[in-house]
């Protein structure tokens, strides 16, 4: 029998430990976010549906994005034992410069529509964390504005080849003049993917006030207050706006983009150049042989061709084909620091985060982006310690098994 006694008031008081209440609402909700998915939930609550869905959604049935995320979930890690790693080194040299973490902020378009601080928040957070920031051709802060926010850090520029080639050439010159060190030449957007959420929401640039958007705005007055009381949206390459994102892309992009365009841009660009949107082994090898500085395995976050190859599944084959000395980066589907560790183990030199960054931005502006980076940093460090590795260089394919659900049918 358990011996019973009257509760001791002193012991009860000992158990009553109350935290000092956090009066800052933004800090309170961000501190409560322990994962990127937690930030996504906050972002959805605080952002109008059309803007949130533009970020959260992808093309057609959204199969590519679902598969990309599933691929990272279908990872089995193989930790080593009795290999203490009390201190881990998450730094890496990439494309001729340092990064404190094995990821950069990816280029995202129309970013101030998500939250009014936009690229300024992203570039500032990247500078503070010591990681690269990538500005999109369709960004809502100028090249020079990003440089002003991140004057000493690493800035990268993502370039679309436009129908009016001179627009692309001038952007290339401006980015070089501003000291951006790497150009991401993007090849997976000859035309816009079918982003059905945007069409169903009637999402346009700039947002239009309709009965639906007004009803949706009622519980989110802060977003509209920020949107209506801050400077008008400005795009790095589009002088006119109006219509859906797909209509804007189709009007601007050119499906005739070719290796000839790459040659012209290479002549204009003095820094490193990587090709973003590579989706097969053959193109990876051809680009290596063409002398570019690296590639990004990417299906554009699932926003272009639905049912496109899964970059994470493609990674081991590409690494084997191009060798160890060629820079291979990866994006699409990364939502956890463990995803980044798995990618590095299987041969990625570096990774890029898009939606994860935007969820933090929508959840809390600059502080939200800081929180995204802090969450990923913690997850990377914890995963490395549990695997028994003290540096990224110690990660190897033996640390990871890709558990495949999708097996090609024999022909």
Q: Are 341 and 103 in contact (CB under 8 A)?
A: no
Give catalytic status of residue 78 as yes or no. Answer: no
Name the active-site residue from 78, 300, 313, 399.
300
Catalytic residues: 300
């Amino acid at each position: 029998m358990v011996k019973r006694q009257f509760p001791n008031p002193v012991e009860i008081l000992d158990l009553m430990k109350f935290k000092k209440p956090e009066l800052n609402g933004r800090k309170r909700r961000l501190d409560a976010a322990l994962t990127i998915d937690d930030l996504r939930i906050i972002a959805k609550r605080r952002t109008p549906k059309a803007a949130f869905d533009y970020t959260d959604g992808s093309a057609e049935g959204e199969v590519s994005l679902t598969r990309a995320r599933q691929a990272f979930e279908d990872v089995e890690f193989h930790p080593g034992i009795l290999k203490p790693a009390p201190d881990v080194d998450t730094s890496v040299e990439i494309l001729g410069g340092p990064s404190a973490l094995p990821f950069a902020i990816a280029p995202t378009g129309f970013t101030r529509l998500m939250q009014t601080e936009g690229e300024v928040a992203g570039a500032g957070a990247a500078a503070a964390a010591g990681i690269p920031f990538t500005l999109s051709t369709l960004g809502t802060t100028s090249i020079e504005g990003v440089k002003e926010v991140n004057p000493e850090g690493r800035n990268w520029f993502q370039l679309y080849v436009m129908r009016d080639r001179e627009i692309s050439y001038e952007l290339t010159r401006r980015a070089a003049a501003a000291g951006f060190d790497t150009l991401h030449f993007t090849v997976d957007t000859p035309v816009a993917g079918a982003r059905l959420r945007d069409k169903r929401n009637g999402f346009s640039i700039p947002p239009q006030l309709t009965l639906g958007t007004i009803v949706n705005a009622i519980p989110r007055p802060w977003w509209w207050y920020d949107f209506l009381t801050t400077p008008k949206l400005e795009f790095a390459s589009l002088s006119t706006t109006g219509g859906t994102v797909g209509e804007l892309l189709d009007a601007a992009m050119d499906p005739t983009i070719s290796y000839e365009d790459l040659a012209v841009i290479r002549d204009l660009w003095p820094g490193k150049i990587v090709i973003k949107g590579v989706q097969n082994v053959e193109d990876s090898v051809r680009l290596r042989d063409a002398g570019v500085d690296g590639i990004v395995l990417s299906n554009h976050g699932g926003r272009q061709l639905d049912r496109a190859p899964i970059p994470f599944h493609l990674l081991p084959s590409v690494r084997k084909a191009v060798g160890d000395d060629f820079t291979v980066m990866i994006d699409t589907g990364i939502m956890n620091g463990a995803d980044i560790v798995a990618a590095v183990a299987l041969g990625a030199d570096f990774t890029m985060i898009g939606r994860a960054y935007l969820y933090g931005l929508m959840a809390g502006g600059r502080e939200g982006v800081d929180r995204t980076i802090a969450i990923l940093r913690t997850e990377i460090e914890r995963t490395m310690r549990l695997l028994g590795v003290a540096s990224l260089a110690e990660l190897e394919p033996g640390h990871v098994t890709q558990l495949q659900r999708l097996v090609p049918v024999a022909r």
